[in-house]
A and B are shown apart, each in its own frame.
Chain A
Amino acid sequence: MIPWDSPIPKVLFTHNVEAAIWRRHYEVATNLIWKAISLREWRKMESAERRYLRLADQVLTVSETDRDAFAAFVDPAKLTVIPTGVDVDYFHPMPTEEAENSLGIHGLDGLTSQRRCDPLLCRRHPSTHQTEVPRRISRGRRPKPRDSPPSSRFHRHFFLDQRHRSPQGLAYPPGLDGESWASFYFDNFFSAFNEKDQGDLLTDGFHDEIVGHSAYRNVLAYWESVAKLVPVARELT
């Protein structure tokens, strides 16, 4: 579709390493049909990515990590990293000190395709910038019992600090990825702790009202709603 033989210089703007996303889908898929599709798309995307990146005159990446991935098969001289900008008027350091081992709500946008995770309550360690999240959180409104992990099974993962200016920074905004946002239910947050009854109590009246929208303008109001739940969650744990 792109006239690659045209003399006009072409800049290829990559938002992800697309092949890596499909590889992760393949690695975690449990449905055999989806696994086969993911494998096929992974291989095709890997081939297409290599081809188009080589054809482009200049390639932009969003991170050093992506640049390094592409540098394996593209001349590094034509790879340029443009980090994603941050609105520092909106995202800024918290006015108060964070509490160690406090609970937060974290958007697992980056992990969605890797570990079938949705945004959920998690325990974080501000001093080490590590966040613990339960393993194997299922998507959907009614997670199956086998997908609700024992609270003792935590997995450590590094996150970029995306603190929102909510009270004491306890609520973290998720990424604005439409797919994970759409499957984001409060039931999942609380079932992660195997506290189904408490989860029902906490989510009563909330989930149908504020989930499922991905419009940017709703994000602030949404997280303000979430922040109200956090003190309750802290008391329960």
Chain B
Amino acid sequence: MPPDTGGKIRSYNILRELARQHSVTFFSFYAAHDGDLHPDLKSIFDRIVCLPLDLPAPKSPAEMLAYGLRLFSSQPYGITKYCRPVVRRELRSLLSRRAMPSSSVTLQLLRA
């Protein structure tokens, strides 16, 4: 949020339309930023779980260091930078706590 790029606009509108007829739990992880609008999604979805992550700024020395630390990972950096224990923990906790009814929809997004 805000939906200001093609992928975000598309995802936002598809999820919003799905939520009209289904129970949708919105789970998202993304680079923390000022004026985070994700809490506004409460009005659209049944439940939201938002995890702002402390990611290094793009192309900054901190990101170069983060890239270097993951250099020998078999996973691409675009995925590993989001692979934080807190995300894994929260997702598994959500799935274990909540018996997903058949009408629920879970979307797994590779790109936040």
Contacts and interface: CB of A to CB of B under 8 A. Distances in A.
A18 B78 contact: yes
A214 B74 contact: no
A232 interface: no
B76 A11 contact: no
B47 interface: no
Contact of B79 (A11, A48, A214, A216): A48
A175 B6 contact: yes
Contacts of B111: 15, 18
Contact of A47 (B10, B11, B13, B74): B74
Given A12-B110, A176-B6, A85 B13 contact: yes
A82 B14 contact: yes
A159 interface: no
B95 A8 contact: yes
B4 A178 contact: yes
B91 A2 contact: yes
Nearest to A2: B108
Interface string B13-55: 1100000000000000000000000000000000000000000
Interface string A1-38: 11100101111111110100010000000000000010
Contacts of B109: 13
Interface in A152-179: 175-178
Contacts of A85: 10, 13
Contacts of B110: 12, 14, 18, 52
A202 B109 CA distance: 43
Contacts of B74: 44, 47
B65 interface: no
B105 interface: yes
A177 B6 contact: yes
20 contacts: A3-B91, A6-B95, A8-B100, A9-B106, A10-B108, A13-B11, A15-B6, A15-B10, A15-B11, A37-B67, A44-B76, A45-B76, A47-B74, A48-B75, A48-B76, A52-B110, A84-B10, A177-B5, A214-B5, A216-B9
